[in-house]
Amino acid sequence: MTVSAPARCPIDHSQFTQATAQKGPTGCPISHGAADFNPFGDAYQQDPPEYVRWAREQEPVFFSPQLGYWVVTRFDDIKAIFRDNLTFSPSIALEKITPTGDEANAVLASYGFALNRTLVNEDEPAHMPRRRALMEPFTPEELKHHEPMVRELAREYVDRFINDGSADLVDQMLWEVPLTVAMHFLGVPKDDMDTLRQYSIAHTVNTWGRPKPEEQVAVAHAVGNFWQYAGKVLDKMRADPEAPGWMQYGIRKQREMPEVVTDSYLHSMMMAGIVAAHETTANATANAMKLLLQHPKVWREICEDPSLIANAVEECLRHNGSVAAWRRLVTQDAVIGGQAIPAGSKLLIVTSSANHDEQHFVDADFFDIHRDNASDHLTFGYGSHQCMGKNLARMEMQIFLEEFTRRLPHMRLSEQEFSYVPNTSFRGPEHLWVQWDTAQNPERKDPAVLQAQQAVRIGESSGSVSRSMVVASTEQIAQGVLRVRLKAPDGRDLPRWTPGSHIDLQCGDTGISRQYSLCGSPEQTDSFEVAVLREEHSRGGSEWMHTQLQPGMRVQMRGPRNHFKLDESAGHLILVAGGIGITPIASMAARAKALGISYEIHYSGSQRARMALLKSLQELHGDRLHVYVGEEGRRADYSDLLAIAKTGAQIYACGPQRMLQGLEQASRHWPEDSLRVEHFSSTLGGLDPAKEHGFEVELRESGITLQVRKDETLLDALRSANIDVECDCREGLCGSCEVPVLAGDIDHRDMVLTRSERAACTKMMSCCSRARTAESKIVL
Ligand code: HEM
Ligand code: FES
C-alpha cells in the first residue's frame, strides 16, 4: 500500500504537542485520543457515541494505531461514505477484525470454512442485481404474513414469566424470540433450529470481536461447525425448494439466474443471515427496553399512548442502536471530512456516533421519542446496502414493546451492572433484569388487556411524532405580536435547541399548522417560546393563534428542527432582520455575544410599535444594533452595508421576500455561500422546478393516468394516488423504489441500474428518474 502525506491536513496538530511520538499513515502526529482508542475496552462497549465524543467534536476522522483503521465519527461524512460504495467498498464488512492465529486458521480450514460474499459485503456490479432479485420477501405485504407468528411468540414468552415478578428479558425472551423469527423468515426446518441457535454467537466473536489467543481455537471449532451445519441445512432446503422461507426463495431464484444467486452466496448467507437477522434485533430490543425504563416518564407515555411506539422504536435505534459501527475499504485515494485517506485504508465508521451528531440531530444526546427526524439514524446503514431486513426488525421491536407496555406497564429496571460482549459492531446488554409487582398485572383485573392490538407501522411513516404541549402564558410584546410560552404537560425537560430552530404549531383541529422560529434562551429546557405576528391577510393560522390561544390550553407541536444553522466558526456575523424575522436573528445575536463572535444586527420595521423585542435587543446589544424604522424615514441600504465583501464574514437574514432579494443582489460580489437566509421547508426533494417539466404516467393495469408535476417526483405522485411504492433513500441509491416500465423515454438519474438496463428501459427508479421530455408519456 502506498501511503502519501495529504496535501493539507485540516486537524490542528499543535494541540497534540504532548502526543505520543507516533505518526499516522499520512505522516501526521497522532493525538492522545486516537492513540488510546480501543473499541474492545469497556468504555466503548458501555457507550460508543460518548466514548468518541472528543473525536466528533475535535478530530472527526482519525487513525487508530491499535486497530489499524481510520475511524470516522460524523453524520455527514458517514452518510457520504455509505452513498459511494465504489470508493468505499463494503467488501470487508464481514472480515475478521482481529486476524486469527495459524492454529485457529488451520481449524477453520479443516471444516472447509469458506464464508464469502453475501450481500452486505458484495461489491458492484454483482451486488445490486442480487439485492433486487432477493428483495420481494422483504416488502411490507410479504412481511405482514409473519406478524401473527411474531405476536404469538411474544405472547407465549411473556406468559412464561409474567407471574414471576422479575425476569432477565434477554435470557428469557429477547435472545430467543428474534432468533426463532429469523429462522422462520429464512425457512430453517424446525428440527435444526436448536443446533443453529447454539452456533450463532461464535460467529459474532469470530468476526467482530477480539478473542484471546487461547479462545480462538474454541471459537474456530464452533464457527467451523456452524459453517458445516449451515451447508447441511441448505441441502435440506434444496430438497424442498417450494417450502416458505427467504433461503428457499433464493434457491428458486438461483434456477432463473444462477450467475446472480450463486452457490457460494447461498451457503454464506445461510450462516450470515442468521446473525444479520437475529443478534441485531435481539440487541436492539434489549437496548430499547433499557433506555425506555431508564426514562420512566417516557415509558409511562408510551404505555398510555401506544401510537407513539413506532417512533419510539426509531428514537431507540438512533440513541442506543444495536450496530455501533460498520466497515468499509477505501479503493482509491479519497478525502473524508477534509482528511486525505490513502487507497487501501480500512474505515471503521462509527454509526452510533453519527446518530449523536449535533449537526444533524437537535440536542442529539437527549432521548426524545417525538423527534421528527429520528428515523434518519444510520443504524441500518444507508444507500445501496441499507439493511434489507429493517422492516422485519421494526415489526418485531414494535410488537415486543407493545406486549411489554400493555401487559407490564408497571415494570421497572432492577439494580444491576450491564455487561457487553466486546466487539466493534454489535452491541446490547448480555442481561437485562426487570421487576414488577405481580398483583398489579393489568390482565388480572381486565383480561381484555390481552386482546388489545396496535397496528404495526413498517412503511414510510414511522408514527406519531407530534408532542402535546400546554400554553404556559401569552403576552402581547408589540402591536400585533403575541409571545407564546409552551411547556410539557408533565413539566418534563424539553430538548435544547440551537438558534435558527423552528417548531410547527397546530391550530387546534382546524387542520392548519404554522412554523415559528424559537426565541428565548436555547438553554432554557422547561419551555419553548415563539412570537406570532398577526398577519393582515391571515389564511387562518396567525388569526387563530391570536384569538384562540389561552393559558392552560393543550396544543400539538412538532420539532424543533433547524434548517437555518449558525456557523459558529464565522469571523464576523452580519445579522439582518425584517419585521417578525427578528425571532431567529435575536437568538443568533445572543449566541454570538455569548461566544464572543464579532457581530452586528440590522433590524428593519415599518413602525416602531410593531417591532418585537426592540427594548431587550437594545439592552443586550447596545450599539451593535442598528434599527431602521420606515415611518421615521430610516431605511436600511443593503448595497451600502455590503459594499465591501468581507472574507470570513457570514450574513444571516430573515424577513420578507423583498428584503431577501435585495440582500441577494447586494451580496453578489461576496464569496459564495456568504448569505444564508431562512427557508422553512424543502418539499422539492432536491428537484429544481425551474429546470424540470411535468409529464404524464399511465398505469395500464389499474387504468389510471397521473400527471407528475415539475416540482414532484414520480414516487410522490404515485404515493399521492395511494399507490404503495417502497422507498429508502429517495436519492436513486438503494433500488427500493423500482417500478416496471412498459413504454416511455426515460431520463434515468439513479445510481442503481446498469447501462444495459437503462437502455432496455423496462424499469426505473421512481424517486429520481423522470420522462425525458414533457411530451414523452411513461406507461407503467
Ligand atoms: C444489512 C443493521 C436486522 C438483513 C445491514 C447493515 C446494517 C444492518 C448496519 C449494513 C448496511 C450498509 O452497509 O449500508 C441491522 C440492524 C437490525 C437488522 C440494526 C435490527 C435492529 C436485520 C434483519 C434482517 C437483516 C431482521 C433479516 C434477514 C440484512 C441484509 C443486509 C443487511 C440482507 C444486506 C443488505 C445489502 O447489502 O444489500 N443490516 N439489521 N437485517 N441486513 Fe440488517
Ligand atoms: Fe432509493 Fe429510490 S433508489 S428510494
pLDDT tens-place string over residues 331-375: 999 999 999 999 999 999 999 999 999 989 989 999 999 998 898
User: Which phi and psi (to 5°) does residue 535 adopt?
Assistant: -75, 140
- Is the beta carbon of 33 within 6 A of some atom in ligand 1? no
Residues recorded for the chain:
780
DSSP string, 500-532: TEEEEEE-TTSS-EEEEEEES-TT-TT-EEEEE
pLDDT of residue 14: 61
CA dist 298 and 11 (Å) reads 40
The Cα 313–Cα 318 span in angstroms is 9
C-alpha neighbours within 13 Å on the C-beta side of residue 90: 26
Other Cβ atoms closer than 10 A to 163: 9
Q: Across-strand partners of 528?
A: 486
Indicate the pTM of the whole model: 0.84
Q: Is the CB of 735 under 6 A from ligand 2?
A: yes
Q: Is the ipTM of this complex over 0.85?
A: yes
Which is nearest to 174 in space by CA: 389, 351, 392, 433?
A: 433
Cell 411490507 belongs to 140
Ligand 1 in contact with 655 (CB < 6 A)? no
Q: What's the gap in Å between 686 CA and the centre of ligand 2?
A: 13
**Nearest protein CA to atom 3 of ligand 2, as residue:** 732
Ligand 2 and 718: CB distance under 6 A: no
> Which ligand places an atom closest to the C-alpha of 326?
1
Distance 687 CA to ligand 2 centre (A): 15
Residue keyed to cell 426514562: 295
- CA of 718 from ligand 2 middle (Å) equals 14
Other Cβ atoms within 10 Å of 125 Cβ, number: 9
Task: Report residue 327: phi and psi, to 5°.
Answer: -130, 150
Q: Where are the alpha helices (DSSP H) in 188-212?
A: 193-208
Work out which ligand 1 atom sits closest to the CA atom of 392. Answer: 26
Q: Which atom of ligand 1 is nearest the CA belonging to 383?
A: 14
Alpha-carbon separation of residue 527 from 61, 84, 302, 489, 521 (angstroms): 36, 41, 22, 11, 9
Set of cell numbers at residue 758: 437503462
Nearest residue (by CA) to ligand 1, atom 36, is 385
Residue 456, C-alpha cell as written in the block: 404495526
Q: Is 730 near ligand 2, meaning CB less than 6 Å away? A: yes
Residue 739, φ and ψ in degrees, nearest 5: -130, 145
Instruction: Give 554 Cα–ligand 1 centroid separation in angstroms.
Output: 40
Q: Which three cell numbers stand for residue 13?
A: 496538530
Q: What is the pLDDT of residue 1?
A: 33
Q: Which residues of 622-656 are buried (b: 16+ CB within 10 A; e: fewer)?
A: eebbebbbeeeeeebebeebbeeeeeebbbbbbbe
**Rounded to 5 degrees, what are φ and ψ at 768?**
-140, -30
Which is it for strands 334-336 and 778-779: parallel, antiparallel or unpaired?
A: unpaired
Pairing of strands 481-487, 412-413: unpaired
Where helices occur in 122-175 by DSSP H, the ranges are: 127-133, 140-144, 147-161, 169
CB 60 within 8 Å of CB 31:
no
Ranges under pLDDT 70 in the chain: 1-22, 201-209, 459-464, 537-539, 679-686, 722
CA distances from 59 to 9, 10, 25, 54, 425 (A): 11, 9, 16, 7, 21
Sheet containing 166-168: give its strands across: 166-168, 433-435, 412-413
Q: What's the rounded Cα separation, in Å, for the pair 170 and 430?
A: 7
Cα distance between residue 752 and residue 105, in whole Å: 37
Is 384 within 8 Å of 733 (Cβ atoms)?
Answer: yes
Cα(697) to centroid(ligand 1), Å? 34
99-104 long-range CB contacts below 8 Å, 24 or more apart? 100/206, 100/211, 100/216, 100/220, 101/213, 101/216, 103/216, 103/217, 104/216, 104/217, 104/219, 104/220
Q: How far is the CA of 130 from the centre of ligand 1 (A)?
A: 15
Nearest residue (by CA) to ligand 1, atom 17, is: 280
Q: How far apart are CA 507 and CA 541, in angstroms?
A: 7
**Residue of minimum CA distance from atom 37 in ligand 1:** 120
Query: Which is the closest atom of ligand 2 to the Cα of 729?
Result: 1
User: Quick one: which ligand is closest to 768's CA?
Assistant: 2
- Report the helix count and the strand count for the chain, using DSSP H and E: 27, 28
Which stretch of DSSP H or E encloses residue 33? helix 32-36
Tell which one of 733, 751, 770 to mutate to probe ligand 2, the residue whose CB is within 8 A of the most ligand atoms: 733
Evaluate: CB of 383 within 6 angstroms of ligand 2.
Answer: no
Cell of 211: 478473542
CB 546 within 8 A of CB 583: no
Nearest Cα to 646, choosing from 600, 678, 586?
Answer: 600
For residue 274, how far is its CA from the centre of ligand 2 (angstroms)? 26
CB 254 within 8 A of CB 266: yes
Residue 167 confidence (pLDDT): 98
In the block, cell 399521492 appears at 720
Q: Which residue has the cell 443453529?
A: 196
User: What is the DSSP pairing of strand 346-349 with strand 69-72?
Assistant: parallel
* DSSP labels, 283-344: HHHHHHHHHHHTSHHHHHHHHH-GGGHHHHHHHHHHHH-SB--EEEEE-S-EEETTEEE-TT
